[in-house]
Amino acid sequence: MSRVALVTGGSRGIGAAISIALKNAGYTVAANYAGNDEAAAKFTAETGIKTYKWSVADYDACAAGIAQVEADLGPVEVLVNNAGITRDAMFHKMTPQQWKEVIDTNLSGVFNMAHPLWSGMRDRKFGRIINISSVNGQKGQAGQANYSAAKSGDLGFTKALAQEGARAGITVNAICPGYIATEMVRAIDEKVLNERIIPQIPVGRLGEPEEIARCVVFLASDEAGFITGSTISANGGQFVV
Ligand code: CAA
């Protein structure tokens, strides 16, 4: 029986590449998404990967969604917390709503997904939790006080939970992508992207979603059992920790 992997935000962008890479590596994959029904239907038609709609910002919806995935496919053994949003604004213009939306999805969403799965992983003595943080959680980014706070919080969560899971065969790791060629990055003003951001990337280009997916497949594998509490930085040299 192949292991079941659940990828949040798994039908678009980096998440879609992760879902496909895990499927190609032999996992049975469920891709969660929050809003874009059309993209999800297209993704399922093209890949055969089942999609499930709920918001990771809602704890009860996560518990119900996970129960549905497990009823359909079996126990989730690999969780990839990839879902994330941006609400960029300089801090003096940032609204409490922009702060809250990003914290609810990008930070609380990780708790909301891991918590309902945790006891099952402990009971089965196996689990892989992979949190997609960001270079901007490591270095901070002007215009992203909300996003940087949430992504940095994801790293603290990863390190703490790794220590709790270690004895139970559960690894918890993070990946910090740099600027990857997805809709989220393409939404940045072109002038800002070309003049301020790309010049800061030593390899001289945006990353590809598949370059992040490859890291996920590595961390998800049975052979990666000695790696926990770690962060893989995949940022083209933009920020060297
Ligand atoms: N450091 C310090 N000051 C900065 C700055 C920086 N990096 N960037 C801009 N400023 C200053 C500007 O010089 C300007 O100052 P003055 O008013 O004195 O001229 C002021 O801040 C306002 O800048 P903007 O004109 O850019 O302000 P805006 O309101 O039009 O736009 C913004 C603000 C939307 C945040 C825009 O600057 C922006 O998009 N920045 C990029 C943010 C970013 O990198 N987001 C990443 C999204 S992708 C992602 O998040 C994925 C991932 O994980 C990497």
Query: Does 54 map to a domain?
Result: yes
Task: Check whether 93 has a pLDDT greater than 80.
Answer: yes
| Environment class of 29 (CB within 10 Å of its CB; exposed 0-12, middle 13-18, buried 19+) | buried
What is the Å distance from ligand 1's center to 89 Cα?
7
Q: Read off the amino acid at residue 171.
A: T
- CA 84 – ligand 1 centroid, Å: 19
In a domain, 93, yes or no: yes
Q: CA 23 to CA 34: how far, in whole Å?
A: 21
**Burial (0-12, 13-18, 19+ Cβ within 10 Å), 222:** exposed
Query: How many angstroms separate the alpha carbon of residue 150 from the centre of ligand 1?
Result: 18
CB 65 within 8 A of CB 52: yes
pLDDT of residue 218: 98
pLDDT tens column, 193-221: 999 999 999 999 999 999 999 999 999 99
Share of the chain above pLDDT 90, in %: 99
**Tell me, what CATH number does 144's domain have?**
3.40.50.720
pLDDT at 148: 98
Q: Which two tokens stand for residue 73?
A: 């496919």
Residue 39 C-alpha to ligand 1 middle, in angstroms? 29
User: pTM of the predicted model, to two decimals?
Assistant: 0.96
Quote the domain boundaries for residue 113: 4-232
Structure tokens that stand for 228 in this block:
């926990």
User: Is residue 1 very low, low, confident or very high in pLDDT (cuts 50, 70, 90)?
Assistant: confident
Query: Is 27 an active-site residue?
Result: no
pLDDT classification of 241: cutoffs 50, 70, 90: confident
CB of 89 closer than 8 Å to CB of 98: yes
Ligand 1 touching residue 185 (CB < 6 A): yes
Pocket test for ligand 1, best of 85, 88, 102, 138 (most atoms within 8 A of CB): 88
- Across the chain, mean pLDDT equals 97
Specify the pLDDT at position 214.
Answer: 98
Is residue 137 one of the residues assigned to a domain?
A: yes
Distance between CA atoms of 58 and 39, rounded to whole angstroms? 21
Q: Which atom of ligand 1 is nearest to the CA of 188?
A: 39
CB distance 152 to ligand 1 below 6 Å: no
Query: Which residue type sits at 1?
Result: M
126-173 pLDDT, tens digit per residue, is 999 999 999 999 999 999 999 999 999 999 999 999 999 999 999 999
| Residue 144 Cβ contacting ligand 1 at under 6 Å | yes
Q: Considering the domain boundaries, does residue 56 fall inside one?
A: yes
Q: Which atom of ligand 1 is nearest to the CA of 193?
A: 41
Nearest-CA residue for ligand 1 atom 22 is 90
Q: Is residue 238 assigned to a domain?
A: no
Tell me if 187 is assigned to some domain: yes
* 45-85 residue pLDDT tens: 999 999 999 999 999 999 999 999 999 999 999 999 999 99
Inside any domain, residue 237: no
The confidence band for 121, taking pLDDT boundaries of 50, 70 and 90, is very high
Domain total for the chain? 1
- Answer whether residue 240 is part of any domain: no
For the stretch 51-60, pLDDT in tens is 999 999 999 9
